[in-house]
Each structure stands twice: as C-alpha cells, then as structure tokens.
Amino acid sequence: MRCGLALAWCALQVATGGCLAFQQQRVEHLAGEPGIYQFVDVDGVRLHIRDSGGDRREAVLLIHGYASSLTTWNANFAAWSVGQRVIGVDLKGFGESDKPAGDYSPDAHAALLFKLLDQLGVERVHVVGHSWGCSIALAMALEQPARVGRVVLMSAWVYEDQLPLFMRLSRVPGVGEALYALYYREQTEVRLEGAFYDDRYISEGLIDAVKAAYDRPGAVAAAHATARDQIFSSVEAHYPELANETLLIWGREDRTSGVEVGERLDGELRHARLVVLPRVGHFPMIECATKVNRLVADFLDERPAVEASPAPAIVTPTAQPTEQPASSRSAEGQP
C-alpha cells in the first residue's frame, strides 16, 4: 500500500514537474470603459478595478470569492452606486489582475487592498465579501476596525473545518502543486452546477468564460497559493471580537457553504443579523439580485445602532421567486 502511494506521488511529480508557474510578465488587457474600469499599480502588483468614480473619501468595496473576479457583482454594482462610491476589484491572482508569486493569505490581501484604497483617496470603507472573499473582509475589519464601517458577508468561507481534503493537501509541498496542475481545470460544469440552485444560470458562455480564466498565465499557480495560504485556524477565534455591524446573507440551498455556517457566524459575531434566501445557492447576489440589492442598500443606509447588542436573526418566512438569468451576470468559480 505504501509503495503504491509512493509510486503515485512520484508519478504526479513527474507529470507536473513538481511546480506551477506564476505570471512571469505583464499581460496586456483592455480595462473596459474609461473612467470606470482601470488598472492601478499597488506595491508592484497591477490590480484591475471598477470604480463608480468621484472623489468621495468613503466607499463600498466589493470582494469576490475564490477563482472568481469582479464580474461577480455585475448585477449589483449599479444599484449600490446610487448616492455612494463603489469599488470592485479583481484580487491579486484573479481576473485581469497580476498573478505573481507571493503571500496569498487573507491578511496579505487585506493589506494590499488598504494600500489600494490609500491610492484612490478612500479613508473609510464598507466591505461586501462573497465566499472566500469574506475572509479578506473580516481580516480588513479586524486589522483596522476604525477605518472599516459596515460589513456584508455572503455565503462565507471562513472556517478551517470548511476546507475539503483537496485544499488541505494543497499545503503539502509538491503534492499541492501536482494536484492543482492535474485537476484544478477539471469538471468545470460540475462545480458550477454545485454553485447554483437554478441551473438556468449555467450557460455555455459562463462555462467558456470560467475555462478561459483558468487558462490565464499564472492563474493555476495563484489559485494553489490562495488555497495553501487560507489558514483560518489562527484567526477564527478572533471573529467574536468584530465590533462592526454585520449583515449575513445566505442561500438556503447553498451546497458550498451551508446555512449552518451562517448560523455559526450569526452566533459568534456580536452585531450580526442573518438573512436566509430560499431557492438560492452559493451566489445570492446573482440568483436573487433584486432582493440582495435592496437588503445591502438598506443596510448601508442604516444609522449606527445606539446600543451595542446582537440583533436577532432574520430568516425570510416565505419563498421568493429567484431572479431570471441575465447575460450580464457572471460568476467564475467558487468558493
């Protein structure tokens, strides 16, 4: 048995060369509509962003999930931009942003985002995170609580016991690189099917876009580094310290990060409230965009609570119709 495992490991090493290649040189992309989409160099990393514009020193920052991009927020950006500045970003390693070697931990991403905000002239920020992006939103709020206002966490991926074996093995030198080289691009359709309750959202165009994202220079190496560095065991004990007003949004049919994770966060965070949306999967901002747009807009407009006491959980009592698929909406991966 041990011999067989050793041979299998050696075969993996031979097949992949034992390593993955990060982006070696700048890849030229069109940023999109001038003044809205742009590239910003932060600490030598070129980040692709979408900025609703203006010189407001308070903004809402949208943080996408694993293997995804700022296109995750296509159905939400305009709605949340009414009366406030909204900034979406392709995180380092994803979308059209650079994919260099380095630290891909939530803390490192948070530090880079604060520097991005500095360059954009943003002094105070509300953060909206999805899935693994919620770990970065939490890192920002815990690191600089006075600078971060309200926090929205959707379908959060923030606990060590959420990590599947594949991601745990990504931490083993050699084995992680081999697994990602061989399997990360595989079964795209199956992964997308697990992310949505309504399979009408899984179009050929979406599948092609996801596969194209996986093929970008450095994308697989960055995905592996992100999985390797998402060690939550040392930080999850600090979640109860979060002082920010927090809105938790979950799809009841989320098969990636189940409702029990939302309930756990709701119990640990001092100022959290949970909204559970029926007939919705891992991407509530896409499958139930109208409802989510209203929930988030109302939450960001609320006056600060007078008393620091936990709010009761809010669970929608009746089923709501899901959104109709729209070609402008895109989700590139999960978690």
User: Would you give the end-to-end CA distance of the chain in angstroms?
Assistant: 33
What does the pLDDT profile of the chain (335 residues) look like in tens digits? 444 444 354 444 444 445 677 755 565 655 555 557 899 999 999 999 999 987 889 999 999 999 999 999 999 999 999 999 999 999 999 999 999 999 999 999 999 999 999 999 999 999 999 999 999 999 999 999 999 999 999 999 999 999 999 899 999 999 999 999 988 878 777 788 889 999 898 888 888 888 888 888 899 999 999 999 999 998 999 999 999 999 999 999 999 999 999 999 999 999 999 999 999 999 999 999 999 999 999 999 985 543 333 333 333 333 333 444 443 334 545 56
d(CA 238, CA 255): 26
* Residue 142 in domain: yes
How would you class 193 by CB atoms within 10 Å of its CB: exposed for 0-12, middle for 13-18, buried for 19 or more?
Answer: middle
Domain total for the chain? Answer: 1
The DSSP symbol for 161 reads G
Which residues touch 302 (CB under 8 Å, ≥6 apart)?
150, 245
Cα angle vertex 280, ends 276, 283, to 5°? 100
* Residue 250 in domain: yes
d(CA 227, CA 206): 23
* Residue 198 in domain: no
* Residue 275 in domain: yes
Domain of residue 90: give its range: 29-164+229-301
CATH number at residue 55: 3.40.50.1820
Q: What is the pTM of this model?
A: 0.84
pLDDT at 27: 59
Instruction: Give the three-state DSSP class for 111.
Output: helix
* Residue 187 in domain: no
Helix ranges (H only) for the chain are 2-16, 77-80, 106-119, 133-143, 165-169, 175-183, 188-195, 204-214, 219-229, 259-268, 284-287, 289-301
d(CA 51, CA 192): 28
The residues facing 88 across adjacent strands are 50, 62
* Residue 20 in domain: no
* Residue 193 in domain: no
* Residue 6 in domain: no
Separation in Å, CA 268 to CA 140, 239, 246: 18, 7, 11
